[in-house]
Structure 1
Amino acid sequence: MSTLEQVLKDALQLSSEQQEMLIKILQNRHHENRRAEIAADAQQTLADFHTGKFRHQSAQDVISALRQSLNEPEK
């Protein structure tokens, strides 16, 4: 398995155009992976909501709780 150092060394041997292509490919794949993670998290959250793990709250209650949490010292 390649180490990060080896991958970087190999990438620097590419032409500038190929390096730019590699950067774009890596960014796109990273974004796709992140979108998939967010979608999976959203699906799990919806499933949790439908099974009753979360209670119904008004938007005002949620905003108040968020504001209060911002004023609390970190643990």
Structure 2
Amino acid sequence: MSTLNQVLEDALQLSSEQQEMLIKILQNRHHENRRAEIATDAQQSLADFHAGNISASVSPRWYFSITRG
């Protein structure tokens, strides 16, 4: 497995155009992974809620802002 330093050194050998493409690819993959993590967390939260392990609550600050206008 490559070390981070090796990967960075290899990336610096790419042309500027290829480096920009690499950056975009890495950003997109990072966003996709983060979305998948959030979806998994949301599914688990819903499952816990439906199983009665947690209850719904309303933030007092949010409630105050909508009731006081």
Corresponding residue for residue 64 of structure 1: 60
Corresponding residue for residue 9 of structure 2: 9
> Residues of 2 paired with 1:13 and 1:54: CA distance?
52
Which runs of 5 or more residues in structure 1 are unaligned? 67-75
SS in 1 for 2:2: coil
After the TM superposition, which parts of structure 1 deviate over 2 Å for at least 4 consecutive aligned residues?
none
**What is the TM-score normalised by the length of structure 2?**
0.83
Q: What count of residue pairs does the alignment treat as equivalent?
A: 62
The amino acid that maps onto 2:60 is: S
Encode CA deviations 1:3-60: one digit per residue, 9 max, x unaligned. Answer: 0000000000000000000000000000000000000000000000000011243xxx
The amino acid that maps onto 1:16 is: S
> Residues of 1 paired with 2:55 and 2:30: CA distance?
34
